[in-house]
Amino acid sequence: MRKLVLFIVGIIIIFAALFGAYLIVKSNNQPKPKIAKVIKTVYVDTVKNATVPITIPANGNLIAKNRFELFSEVQGVFESSAQDFKAGQTYNKGELLIRINSSEYYASVQSAKSELYNLITSLMPDLRLDYPKAFPVWEAYLNNFNMNSGVAPLPEVNDNTVNYFITGRGVQTAYYNVKNLEQRLSKYRIYAPYKGILTEALVNKGTLVRPGQKLGEFIDPSIYELELSIGKTFSDLLQIGENVTLNTLDKQTTYNGTVSRINGRIDQETQTVTVFVEVKAEDLKEGMYMEAQLKAKEIENAIKVSRKLLVNQSEIFILKDSLLDIIKVNPVYFSPKEVVLKGVPDHTVILSKSIPGAYAGMKVKVNQESVISNNEATQ
């Protein structure tokens, strides 16, 4: 009886195991749920070829076109100035910038003048006796001789005999010696060559100034130049007098400038040409960082698109019957954010914004707002 019970229990366990295995296999064979395919929405634009102007971006710092570096050619104590000799001080044209004490040197000049006067005086008796025609001219020169002003030019001598006599006595040598000293004396005073502002002051009143020492910088704040480096590819397309749009770093202010100079030499290291743009405005300051847009040339039958739309540097996506396709294009100019393309037929529908994971044959749907805006732009 016991064996019979165990036999029946074993059979029940076997059938239960088989039934459980059947249920497991059946559950694994259930079909997977279908995932709905997502169709991406794209923004499009309709191609209309036109003339695209090429603008070259460049940047640099403003430099005053008229600048005057002050250096001393003589030695002495900085005595005075028409204004307070400090950075930011303005001076009018002809105002005294720096006066260096010249008392000692002035005495040397006066001494040389006195020697010249005495030398000519000593010649007068001989001129009266030997050259009576030349005597009145030299007598008038002596009578007008002023020790407190610059020495006047010597009288013209038409008679070679008188000229030999005057030259032999050393009159001309003494005269040019005085003129040389007077020229040197004028260097003790420096005047403003134009109305401007002192941007740098390196000495104070009472400072001992030595020859060759830099004293400061003086600029004309009414006109500036912007030095730009342009690639040699476009250097021959720029011309003097072309208008240039300048912007500040924050893009808040725009200025108009003109190309004033173009360097004739190419930098061997950077292969660029230096272009100078002249600009005038009251609110400009030296050293301001400016960005320029130089108009180089115009490309006909072309379009300008974002560089993000370019695939493999020579292809773009187009839209045909809700499917993406790829066509070959000819890029003719690259800017930091955009590219100018040729070879795209008119009325071709292209993407205006790139989409991740795009491929040829991909099904998409068009954003209707972009279609409406394109139609309005066409109209």
The pLDDT, as a whole number, for residue 94 is 93
Asked whether the whole model's pTM tops 0.85, one would answer no
Over residues 197-247, the pLDDT tens digits come to 999 999 999 999 999 999 999 999 999 999 888 877 666 667 788 888 888
State the Cα–Cα distance between residues 245 and 279, nearest whole angstrom. Answer: 10
Q: 50-64, 105-119, 216-230: which has the minimum mean pLDDT?
A: 50-64
Section 349-356 average pLDDT: 85
% residues pLDDT > 70 (the chain): 92
Q: Give the pLDDT band of residue 37 (cuts 50, 70, 90).
A: low
Tell me if 337 sits within 8 A of 307, measured CB to CB: yes
Coil vs helix vs strand at 62: strand
- Cβ neighbours of residue 188 under 8 Å, at least 6 residues apart? 74, 76, 99, 100, 101, 102, 105
State the Cα–Cα distance between residues 272 and 295, nearest whole angstrom. Answer: 16
State the Cα–Cα distance between residues 274 and 373, nearest whole angstrom. Answer: 42
Rg of the Cα atoms in the chain: 45
Domains in the chain (CATH in brackets) are: 42-54+300-378 (2.40.420), 56-64+223-297 (2.40.30.170), 71-101+188-219 (2.40.50.100), 104-186 (no CATH)
The pLDDT, as a whole number, for residue 308 is 87
The pLDDT, as a whole number, for residue 197 is 94
**What's 298-326 look like in SS3?**
EEEEEEEEEHHHCECCCEEEEEECCEEEE
Tell me if 238 sits within 8 A of 195, measured CB to CB: no
- DSSP codes, 267-304: -TTT-EEEEEEEE--TT--TT-EEEEEEEEEEEEEEEE
